[in-house]
Each structure stands twice: as structure tokens, then as C-alpha cells.
Structure 1
């Protein structure tokens, strides 16, 4: 199952989550339920941490204090985890093995010929870019990818170890699942038959053979219930944003396979991708027994139908105000709104065996879309609706089939992301799949091999969502999480189907239970972090707690510029354009004074315009789509730098690194920038501009640092230079 094509559409588990970095599986299409985030500033000891844009309201002072306390706790945790200091004079050098090694890496990554006041990204990363051409089969490469590859290699060793012996059934299931994915011989022997049989079981497909007419609701319930496909719309069970103590059924827009509606609607710019997608659709249909003479035309009809869905899909940048898009109604009211679907029948099937009635509350995030998709369903031929729904099922199943299906996928990926034929070893693909399916059981193996128990105890004493959830190290609790998921050692396709069924049952089970505030939506090996507004919490998986983000024997300037910025970024998400709409209990409500809201909006307009002006390969960044992450980037850097200054005030200057010829303050900014060194194909960059809520890595450096007076001071950038234009955008 390819990580790249595993789920290009929306993913309910990522809803209400603002991440630090673009996620490895390509970002959701516009159908994804809106993520949220927030940025923050604070005061300490008379130093001005907040922006100069007028007097702060009482609300802002309170928020500043909240951030200060949170950051001091988190950075205290980082320090306690091993950041020892010395009081040698500032000009002395650190000549430990760790310091010499990290200094060498920093110097290699630099481009000394570049003017740091003209293009700091080139200065910090130019050497790295020269030395790191894109690996074969990759559309992008960065620090994050490198660390994830290291984590995968460790997991491979653990799962393939001949002495693997676990007392946990969940961990045994993890190994079985991984080995079934590696068993290419059996996958090749089965060929397309597992999916052909599944299509027949679902009622047939007009493209490949006989199909049962007039069974629209039965097919819809089957493909989107036990098999978790999402034609037309997506449903899930999650925390009610306006009542964070309860779960509720949620419905949103869905139905697009390509990453963004723009691929369908901007046909001239995306002609190559649309042709490759149609070719992919036709090739898969033929592999499943489709007729050459009719398949092309029928798949074109499906593509045209997806284009009609794209036309009514609301773009990401118009879905950022969660107060506006939230609508809570009953199933009976939903039936009147979108009558093409028998909603009580549909939801009762999806959430079986729960007993639902038409007074059950449902939260909608795309009210107008659901009205329009109902109209579209009513005026579309039943044969086309059936073809489209089964195509959604084919997409889910094809990635678990033989090499012919993978070859077809490779051709689409080349067009979509610029990757040549995938050279990714099978074991890496299987590690990714195992993490997606049994990630917390896999995480238990990872944590036991990498995470110091004492460090976890210290982290828990300060903040309880650093590293990993405690339950994964309790075999009984871990087994309970995956109880009911059957895994065999030799049938990868069936393991995938069983997981879809299992996840559907788990979803239904959540509706009548209170939200689990300790639940994680990222697995421990993940190289990322996230903020959850409905829980008012942040999570730092174990996977990111390593160099270059954090190492106990690295200079504090690098640790604060690395994991410190990550922490500050996630804390800031509590007060960005979406996170600010949630109160301290994680409830969506208008709790700010009108004057604070207006002041906030005025400041964010500056940042939207600033990032709108940045381009990649001639394409402009969408400053509105990336606003939340840009606020968090700017706030995270400011918070981390001032936390570093507070550390220096208390502990004294640390030794400098040899050979880098940088002060420790300069090292902080270089360390921050080098986290974002990356290379990417033009096609992948284009996709990122359309789908990613984060700015491209280059402008996560340039945009953030050009707004920092501390950066300009320490690199002595004259006013009017590109990195110190004299016009800064400050939200907090």
C-alpha cells in the first residue's frame, strides 16, 4: 500500500489537528474537515516579547501570561531531559565529540557565499541542497524524511529479528501484518482476485461485468461502512467542538481522489495530471476485467462526475472560520437538507449496532455542499453513481494487490509528484503501512528500543503528552486497543479489509462514550507534533525527540532553535485564526472581546499579504490558506528565542561551536533554518501550494526571520535589506 496514494482525500483522524510539518501521506483534499492552529506572544522580566502594533488588550495580556507559563514548563522539561550547561567564557569552544560532529554538519549545510541578509535560506541551506539531490523515487527530501528513514530502519530490524518474542498480542499482530505485506510471492499469486471477489460481493461493477441495478443505498452503505471508502461525503465520530465533553456524528464534504479541487477545475494547468489520472483509472479497470471498448468512456464519465463534485467542493481557504462552518442539526433535519440519501438508514448501518433515531444530533461542516451533492446525486444516472462508488472501493483495495497495480500507480505518481518509478524498498512501504494500521503497537516496539525510561518519567512530571501514551507499555491495555482486529501472517489484502471493518466498529463504539482526552492521533515513531484545540493540548511524539531537533549533548542554542521552536509553534496554535475560537476547555465559542477580534484580524491581514507575495516556481503562496501555520511559525520562533535568552540569563553563556564562526545567538537562527533544508520536485511543490496549510520550507525560514528584529540585530542586517525590509508583520 503506497503511502503517497493511500488516502489523497480526507482523513477524519486528522480533523481538529494542527501539525508542525506537512504529513507524510499526501495532504487531504479540500474535503478534509478543517484543521486548526494558533500563535502566541508573552512578556518576561521587562523584555518586550509582544509585537509593537499598539496597546495590548487585557485579553492579550492574559493570553501572553498563559503562553509564558506553558513555554517555561515545556522548555524546563527539555532542559531537565539532559540539557546540561557550563559557565565557561562565551568565547571558549566546545570540543566534545558531539560538538565537533554537529559543527561539521552545520558548516556542510551552509552556503558562505550567500548573504544572510539577502536570502537566509540560501545561506543556511545552500550547501545542504547541493549535497542532497532527490533520492530515486522521492518527490521531496528533508530532515523530516531523513529521520523517518532512520526510524523505519530501526523498526525493520525489530520486526525482522529472528528472536522476536513478545508477550503482547498486539505486538504479535504488528509483526504478522508487516510480514504479510512483505510476502510478495503470495500477493502475486492472488493477483487481482481478492478485489474482483470483493466487487462481486458488493453487487458488481458495470465496468467489469453484471451489476445489481437500483441498489444505490446498499452499495453506498457497504463501500463507506465496513470498507471505509468516502464517496460523496465523509462521516465520523469525534469530539463536538461546541461541547468538548461529548462525541458526536460529524459529516463533511468528500469524494475527490486527486489532492485538490484545483486539479479538476484548472484543466489547462493540470492537463498532464488529469490525463495520467484517467489512464490510471482505465488501467486498473482493465486489470479487474473491464472491456477495452467501453472502459475508457465509462471512466471518463466518472472523472467528469468527480469534476462536478470538485465544482461544489468548498476550497480550504474558505473553511478557516470554524464558527461559520459548524452546523448542528438532527438526522431528521439532515434528511430535509439532503434527501437523496436515506440518512437514518445510512448512519445506522455505518454505526451498527448503535440504536439511532431521527433526533440524533449531527454536526455538519459543509451544509451547502451537502445540499448540492444531494441535487447532483438525484440528477445522475444510477449506473454512473454505481460506477463512481465502486471506483472508490477500487481505490481502497488496489494498493494491497500485485505489482501490476503498483506499476499503474507509479505512472500516476510521476505525473502528480514528479517521481520516477518508485525505488522505495518493499520493507519501507510495509513499515509505513504497519504504522498506519497498528501504529501504537509498532510504537511500543520503537519506544522500548529508543526512549529512556527516566526521561519519560521526567517528561510526565511536567507534561503528559511527550514521547508516547503510557498505555502502549502495558501489554494488556495495548492488546485491548486492538482486540477484535484479526491479522494473518500471509494475507495482506484480507488484513487491510479486516482493519477497515475494525476501524468502523471502533468509530461506532466512540459515539456513546465521553472523549478520551489522553488519546493520541499520531503514533510514537512519527516525526512531527500537533495541537488539538478541542483538548487544548499539544503532543510531541517520540519520533521527533532526536537530532537535529533535540540532543542532550548539543548546544542549547540548537535545542531551543529545534525542539524549542516546535514547542513554541504548537503552543502558538492555541491562538491562531482558528485556535483562538476555542476556549480553555476546548469549546468552540466567541470568547474574545470584539476589540480583541478586530485587532487580531488587522494584524493577520498584514501576514496574509506578506505571504501572498512569496512565490515558488512562479506560483504564489496562498497567504489565507497558510495563515494559521504562519502565525504559529512566527510565534514559535519568538517564544523559543526568548526562552533561550531567559536560559542564558539564568545559566550564563555556553561554549561556542568550533569552525562555524557564529555567535550562539546566530547559531540559534541557523539551527532553526537548517531544520527546513529540503529539496522537492516542481510537481510536488505545485501540489503543496494547493493543499498544504504550511508555507513551503524556504518561506518558513525567510518569512519568519524577516519578521524578527532579534534576527536582524544579530546578523546586522541593514534596514531595507530583503531580510530586514523595515516592514514587519507581528500578530502577537
Structure 2
């Protein structure tokens, strides 16, 4: 065939004819094209192409099936390999020193023989008491107290070391510690420093009531008790008979107001037995809690030594009589020590007569103390109805005086001007001049009742008895900071009152505590590290932000809050300020000297040092009356606690709370379970049964709707019922669920907020490593383990 023929030939080749035997007669066709169109011609190779197409489709199908099968095999193989690798993959474990320390302490504290679902507290904390023995100085013990003792030890060590290039207040802190530790000098000075102060206060060296000399005419004795009370307030910062302070206006947190009532600051000096401060914010003047027992009146909380015969257990008397007997013996010995050092040596009064007069004086003081206690007890406002404090009355000084005069006259007394003279006398040491037409005084109804009855009582009391009362009140808080003999007298009495031995902590720790109380910012400067601002503080601020977010989510899920209250709650959460670590200005050059301007410290004068610092602080506080309120720290950075300040809507987190055992635990789950729950507790206080009354600006104004308040009260009854069912064997009484409602709500809300914050944190940052020895627990379980551990608290005899 000629595939490339000329033009006259069919390009497909010569014509093809059928065999002669064919029956079909083919009509004549002109050319190949017509044959093809008629279907008689088929392209060359068409059968082969059809065959190829048919088998090519089968081949592709087989190939596709093979590929699918291969992919399936690969998938199975990869899955098997992944599962095998997953099972055999080494678990990420945190081996930092922080994680190892946390793991060891958790393991030692736990009681693994207890099932966590049966007794979670025992499971987490069952062996904590054994691993952390309670010092004899404390009846109760927990992480907070243990950490505070360690802080005092750190402060002590710093104060004993020589340093250079430190600000003046830091050196003054060292000098204050040196003076406190020089007990030999204190014994040598004896009572001379106290005598000097008594003269400046207008008080005698020993009570006139004792009549250490013959022929004393009590009927002609005159004593200006108000002048003495003013001097005590301005020189010692101490309330006697009259309580006075400056607080931010409950309805306008930007300004300060004058506040008066029953005595509040009854001991301005550092105490050896540093009880953990309670969360009260600034509610004291609107809600005074006088719920304490007579036998635990505020004395004897400084020192300890062995009993002597004068304070033997008095089994034949009941508890109240025992307490009264111990108090009177203490006051008698206190008075006698002062008389022996200051009374005329040529007195004709016999020793027996002197002792009789001393015991009469002690008995008279105790009687007046009981009477004043009853007046203060009538001032108890712990009725449980918090809404009554929304409206604290304000008075001008003449209105208070008129009301007082009316009560005095109705009790057959003689009215005398008190309140204007008192306020003028207190502000006389400041740069502020009061305007009694504009400067109103905030006084709650119970406080006004106390002030009036107190004035009526004093109008009929013998001046010599009033002098005796003020003298002992002042001397008992100063005497503990003088000689060894007086310190031992305090401790013997304290021990007899408690009826068990209480070991006195070392003098060094007491002095470190005293320095920390009075010059806390100087101590904080010394232990603060600059990298805190760039390392730890940002992490805590992130935690606080997540805590707020968590609370907002919880609020959003509530059904008992209406939308208006929810919106106001969101706004308060947003506006809540945070103070973390230490003040921003603390490390700035010259700021610490400015903060402590006017303070002088002498290494040879311990008691005078304490008083000088107190006087400077009083004057500074009075001078701020016209300046107005700024957001300030509720505590020193060296205090182991955290605070929510109602009237500033502020959370304060001191520096030492950002250390072990509350923070720096190695894993975020542990940090959120400990510090996070503490912060959540404080945040929730802004919305508990008392905190809900302060709005986003810290003003005591209603911002919850009535319907939401009613729902809240109904829902919180379950808290009251639950906690009231708890019986504390060590105290032999049930918990008062109503009085502890705020704290219980804060505890519950705090752990829920912290748990929600942890979930958000892990979602953003991914899975965390395992804790060594606790690889079987996930992050959420570690959170609750940490929370249970930091919540440890036990009383004497509980374990």
C-alpha cells in the first residue's frame, strides 16, 4: 500500500471489493469517503485500539485498587507505629529544682493510704503536721505562719550583716534592730525611758490612787483626763477611752473623713505573738466586730517564761474568776515595780500598807476595765445585716457635743466640752486646720452610743480612778519593751492565763518582726530584686488577668443575676486595680528617704525609737487629710498575706507571697492551685456579702438590683447551713456559718476562678510537663492537690 499516494488516489489506499459469493449488491460508490460514510470502510488498526482501550481501563482500575490497598496498608502501618511510639514515648517530666521541691513536699504531706474521694483533706494533708511541727509559740499553724517566720529569719539575717551604699532608711532599720537586741542596755536603763514619756504625757510616775505617801486628800485631786488622752494619741498613736482615725469616705473614696467611736488602736507597738491579720479591708469603722471573750482581753500577748508560785492554777475557781485573779496580780506587780523605782524613799507608809493600796488599785482598775468593756460590748454591730452599714451618719462637732451633754445630764453627770477640744488637740501636731462648719464626723449609731455613755461614766468617776485607768493602759503597752524583769512578768501572766506553757521565740526574731512592722518598706527595699519587675511581675499580672476573665465567665453563666447587675459586675472586675510585689517607686533613687523623712533612730534608745517612728507616721497621716486618697498599699511587701481593699477596689499581692510555698512551684498547675486560689479569694471579696456593697470606684453605694440581692441572700443560705454544721473539737463549738459567710464565699469563688484561669492558661500555652513522682496525675488533678496543700490549717491538739 502506498500511504503517501498522489492526489488522484485515495489516501487510504486501493479500493477493496468483496468476494463474488457476497449476496449483497453494493451500489456503485464514487470514492473512499463515501464508502466510509456508508460504513463499509473501517480505519486501519481500529480493532487493536478497541482492544487496547478495553484492557487499559481494566489496568487503570487494577492500578487504582492497588494504590488504595497500598495506602490502606500504609495507614494501618502508620497507625500501628504511632500507637507504638505513643506508648513507648518518654513522658516529659519537670526536673527543675522547683518541681523537685514541690514533688517532695507534696509527697511528704500526703497520706496515700486514704482514698481521695473519701477524705480529700486527709489524703492531701494527712502527714503535714508531722512534717511541719508546730512551734510552742503558736496554738495554730499553717503555711502562712511558717512562711512569715521564714521571712522574719531572712530579715534578721540581713539586719545583722554589714552593707554599703544603702539608702539611709535601710541603715536606720539596722540601727533599730541593734537597739532592740541590746537587752543589756535596756536592763541598765531600767524604767527611766518610761518615766520620761509619762512626764511628757502628763501622767505621774506611778498611779496617784496608790497613795504611796501619807495624808493624801483624794477629794481635792484634779486630773485633766482629756488632755492626757490627747497626748497619748499624738505621742503614742494609741486610743484610750476615745477612738479616732481618718478613713476614706465610704461614699466617695477620693477623700478622707474624720471618724470617731470606741477605741481601735489599743496597742500601737510591735507584738511578739504576731497573729495573722484578718481580711477586713477598711470595713472597721462601718462594721466593728467586738466578738471576743472577756478572758481574752487584749493584754499579755508579748512574752513567755516559766510560771512562778503567784500564778499557779486555781482549780477551785471558775474560768472567769481565774482570769480576773491573774489580771489583778499582774497589774499589782506592774504598779509595784514602778513604785519601787520612783517613790520617795523616806515615805512613812509601811510595806504592808503599800501592798494593800497596790491591790486596791489593781482591783479598781479591773473594775473600771470591766465597765468600759461592757460599754464597748454594747457597741457590737455584728448582727449579720450588712445593709445597715450603707448609711453611716455624719455630724458636726456641736451636734455630737449636744447629744453627749443630753446623755450625761440624764445620768446625773456634769457635762464638759470634749469633742472639739479633742480634735483640735490631735490636729495641733499637723499642718491641717480643721473647719468645724465643713468638716463633718462620721459616727455609727453604736459608736455614738458608746461615746455618750463613756462621757457620762467619766463625769461621775473619781479623777484619781480615771488617771489610774489611763496610766495602766499606757504603761502596759510600753513596759514590755523595757527590762527583762518586766518581759518575764508579762510572759508568766500570759502563760497562767492560757494555762499551758508557751515557748518564747528568740529575741532576734522578735526584733526582726518589730523592724519589719515599723520600717517595712526599708526592709522590702533590702530584699527586693530588680529582675522581679521584668520576670515575675508580668507573670503574676497575666495570672490576675486570667483570674478576672474566669470570674467574668462565671458571672455570665449565673441565672440569679439580672443583666443590669451582670453589666455592673463586669465593669467592677475591669476596673479592679492590682498592686504586685512592691511599690513601683521603691527602687527609685531618693524615694525611700522621702517616704521615711523625719524619722530618727538611735542605737542606744529602743523604746524612744519606736515612739519616734509612730509619731512621724501619725503626723503624716493627719497631713494627708486635705490631700485626698490615692491608691496605696494595704500592707508591707514583707507580709505573708494578700488583700482586697474595698474602698479602692484594689488587690494587693505582697512580694513574699510570690515565693514558695505559694508561687514558684515549678508547674503552672501548682502555682494556680496555691497562689491562684489565694488571689481568687481576694478578688471574690469584692463581691461577697459585704464587698457587693462597694461599687467599681470603691464607694459604698447600692449597685445590685433588689431582685439580684434577694436571690443572693436565698442562695447563700446553703453556705450558712453547711458551715454551721461543722463542729471543731479543739474549740468545743460549731462554726457560725453566718459570721464566716464572706470568707466561705471567697474560698469557694477563689478556687473556681483559679481553676477556670488554669484551663485558659493551658489552652494558650499547651500541655505542661509531669511532676516527678506524680506522672499519673494530670494538670487539673495537680491543681487540686496544690490547693488542698496550701489550705492546711491545724489547731493545737488536732494531731
Same fold? TM cut 0.5 = yes
The answer to whether the 8 A contact 2:93-2:770 is kept is yes
Aligned pairs for 1:342-357 within 5 A = 342-352=418-428, 353=430, 354-357=432-435
Query: SS of the counterpart of 2:293?
Result: helix
Determine whether 1:469 maps to 2:570.
no
Q: Give the aligned partner of residue 330 of structure 2.
A: 280
Query: SS of the counterpart of 1:470?
Result: coil
Determine whether 1:250 maps to 2:328.
no
Q: CA deviation at 1:513?
A: 1.1
Q: 1:286 to 1:561 in 2, by over 3 A?
A: same
Q: Could you tell me which runs of 5 or more consecutive residues in structure 1 were left unpaired when the two chains were aligned.
A: 1-87, 686-697, 699-732
Q: CA deviation at 1:286?
A: 2.1
CA distances 1:487-509 after superposition (whole Å, capped 9, x unpaired): 11210011122123222212211
Which segment is superposed worse, 201-210 or 181-190?
201-210
Q: Give the aligned partner of residue 714 of structure 1.
A: none
Could you say which structure has the greater relative contact order, defined with CA pairs below 8 angstroms and 6 or more residues apart?
Answer: 1
Query: SS of the counterpart of 2:395?
Result: strand
Distance in 2 (CA, whole Å) between partners of 1:257 and 1:362 is 21
Determine whether 1:522 maps to 2:552.
no
CA distances 1:2-33 after superposition (whole Å, capped 9, x unpaired): xxxxxxxxxxxxxxxxxxxxxxxxxxxxxxxx
Query: SS of the counterpart of 1:540?
Result: strand
The answer to whether the 8 A contact 1:192-1:287 is kept is no
Q: Give the aligned partner of residue 545 of structure 1.
A: 658
Aligned pairs for 1:239-318 within 5 A = 239-254=248-263, 262-264=292-294, 271-289=321-339, 291-312=354-375, 313=377, 314-315=379-380, 317-318=382-383
Query: SS of the counterpart of 1:575?
Result: coil
RMSD: 3.0
The answer to whether the 8 A contact 1:565-1:640 is kept is yes
Q: Give the aligned partner of residue 717 of structure 2.
A: 605
CA distances 1:66-110 after superposition (whole Å, capped 9, x unpaired): xxxxxxxxxxxxxxxxxxxxxx99975434443233112101101
Q: CA deviation at 1:417?
A: 5.7
Q: CA deviation at 1:208?
A: 5.9
Between the two proteins, the alignment pairs up a number of residues equal to 594
Distance in 2 (CA, whole Å) between partners of 1:179 and 1:449 is 27
Q: Give the aligned partner of residue 126 of structure 1.
A: 126
Distance in 2 (CA, whole Å) between partners of 1:303 and 1:629 is 35
Q: Give the aligned partner of residue 753 of structure 2.
A: 639
Distance in 2 (CA, whole Å) between partners of 1:238 and 1:89 is 62
CA distances 1:460-480 after superposition (whole Å, capped 9, x unpaired): 797651000122212422112
Determine whether 1:510 maps to 2:624.
yes
Distance in 1 (CA, whole Å) between partners of 2:256 and 2:264 is 24
Determine whether 1:479 maps to 2:578.
no
CA distances 1:633-661 after superposition (whole Å, capped 9, x unpaired): 11101101111122233334323323345
Determine whether 1:579 maps to 2:658.
no
Q: 1:250 to 1:555 in 2, by over 3 A?
A: same
The answer to whether the 8 A contact 2:159-2:174 is kept is yes
Query: SS of the counterpart of 1:386?
Result: helix
The answer to whether the 8 A contact 1:226-1:350 is kept is no
Aligned pairs for 1:378-527 within 5 A = 378-415=459-496, 420-448=501-529, 451=532, 453-456=534-537, 465-517=579-631, 519-527=632-640
The answer to whether the 8 A contact 1:139-1:417 is kept is no
Q: 1:548 to 1:341 in 2, by over 3 A?
A: farther
Q: Give the aligned partner of residue 677 of structure 1.
A: 792
Distance in 2 (CA, whole Å) between partners of 1:559 and 1:90 is 25
The answer to whether the 8 A contact 2:210-2:357 is kept is no
Distance in 2 (CA, whole Å) between partners of 1:146 and 1:450 is 26
Distance in 2 (CA, whole Å) between partners of 1:305 and 1:255 is 18
Q: Give the aligned partner of residue 327 of structure 1.
A: 393
TM-score normalised by the chain length of structure 2: 0.69
Distance in 1 (CA, whole Å) between partners of 2:397 and 2:733 is 43
Distance in 1 (CA, whole Å) between partners of 2:326 and 2:90 is 58
Determine whether 1:364 maps to 2:449.
no
Query: SS of the counterpart of 2:481?
Result: coil
Distance in 1 (CA, whole Å) between partners of 2:673 and 2:324 is 42
The answer to whether the 8 A contact 2:390-2:700 is kept is no
Q: Give the aligned partner of residue 83 of structure 1.
A: none
